[in-house]
Structure 1
Amino acid sequence: MNIGEKVKNLRNERGMTLKQLSEATGLSTGFLSQFERGITTIAVEHLSNIADLFKVKINYFFEEEPEIEPIVRGYDQPVIHKLNNMIYKQLSRTPQDKQIAPKMIEIMPHEKRELPTTYPHQGEEFVYVLEGILTLVIEKETYQLYPGDSAHYFSTIDHNWDNQTSNVVKFIVVHSPNDY
């Protein structure tokens, strides 16, 4: 990422327009637009003013961003959250800039043996069972998915999944659009 792109990211993160940045720095919007797109360079004193404006040190613009490896090792899957009897693990190193965010979900056995409440949301969903028996409810139909089974459906219809057994259920889920 070049210096102009870093300025643009800071500006966007703070909800600032090019015009507002122009007014705060005394630089024209045309110049700032070209700078953010990497078409022109900027004098150090102007970059220093921008750094002060965004409350970052000037070396922020010159630091190399570490290359993020696209691989997630099995022993290094970050837990993104725990909800009731479910553990959600992230299977993508950088899902925030992608169209999908694959997750592995582990559902622990639990006492409650009634079917889960179904609900719709935007997009579509894909599940693939790795271990155990996943109970999948789509509208009024209930399915038992075994290891190796998968399902792909529009998320806009009522659906939900659960573990109705006394063993752990592990499965992969991919949502589109990304709900990271």
Structure 2
Amino acid sequence: MAIDIGGKIKELRVGKNLTLKDLSEKVNLSIGFLSQLERGLTNVAVDSLEKIAEALEVDLSYFFSIPKSSNNSILRSYQQEIFQVVNSQFINYHLTNDLENKKMVPRLVQILPCSTDENVTNYGHEGEEFVYVLEGILTLFLDNEKYELYPGDSVHIDSTVPHNWANYTNKLVKLLAVNTPNHFNIKHK
């Protein structure tokens, strides 16, 4: 994955006529580190990648790919790729090889710890949502109520009900989330 991210960074940097030195000054990372990153020789922390994305004027999710369609129904754990990082806090992995041909979207979500001072905005959207907590304590906001869900707890809701999630602990929260409809689906839209 480091090679893909590094290649995308280099492509954007060169396309904007920036030198490694220019990018280094914008993101406060060393030229040597950026060079190694572009060549796929090192990994980058999400917060540093977010600075790079901002400097190159792209969304952080630009650096992560959607799994390619495959006739294979099995997705091995080592084949899982990060699909999206939201607010440097929610890391989403798709759990399917064939997302474009399915009606639901199964994801593994990792939620990094955050401060309880942050305001959480509840929102509703089309479809259904199922969440199963694998690890950690998930704070669930559901229709103006606040709940703590523990490993083994689950919730299945109509997604139009205002809701959101947070991690107010000092440990990672992992959950399985399955949503409908599949907005990546071309056939079933």
Structure-2-length-normalised TM-score: 0.57
Aligned residues: 115
Contact 1:115–1:162 (CA under 8 A) maintained in structure 2: no
Q: Percent identity, aligned pairs only?
A: 43
Structure 1: gaps (5+ residues): 1-65
Q: Deviations over 1:59-118 (max 9, x none)?
A: xxxxxxx96211111122111111111100010111111110100100011235445110
Q: Say whether the 8 Å CA contact 2:129–2:179 is kept in structure 1.
A: yes
Which amino acid in the other structure matches residue 156 of structure 1? T
**164, 168, 176: which one aligns with 2:168:** 164
Aligned 8 A contact 1:87 1:105 in 2: yes
Aligned to 2:77: 74
Asked if 1:143 is matched to 2:147, the reply is yes
What pairs up with 1:46-65 in 2 under 5 angstroms?
none
Residues 103 and 181 in structure 2, CA contact (< 8 A), matched pair in contact too:
yes
From 124, 143, 152, the equivalent of 2:128 is: 124
Q: For residues 113 and 132 of structure 1, do their structure 2 counterparts lie closer, same or farther at Cα, with a shift above 3 Å needed?
A: farther
Larger radius of gyration: 1
> Residue 105 of structure 2 aligns to a residue in which SS?
coil
8 Å Cα contact 1:113-1:164 kept in structure 2? no
For residues 29-44 of structure 1, the aligned pairs below 5 Å read none
User: Secondary structure, in 3 states, of the residue corresponding to 1:109?
Assistant: coil
Q: Which runs of 5+ in 2 are unaligned?
A: 1-68, 185-189
Q: TM-score normalized by structure 1?
A: 0.60
CA 67–124 in structure 1, closer or farther in 2 if over 3 Å, else same: closer
Match of 2:156 in 1: 152
1:1-24 deviations in whole A, cap 9, x for unaligned?
Answer: xxxxxxxxxxxxxxxxxxxxxxxx
Describe the SS at the equivalent of 2:177: strand
Structure 2 letter corresponding to 1:71: I
SS at match of 2:125: coil
Q: Which residue of 2 aligns with 1:109?
A: 113
Q: C-alpha root-mean-square deviation of aligned residues, in Å?
A: 1.6
Write the deviation string for residues 101-144 of structure 1: whole angstroms up to 9, x where unpaired: 10010001123544511001001100000000111111111111
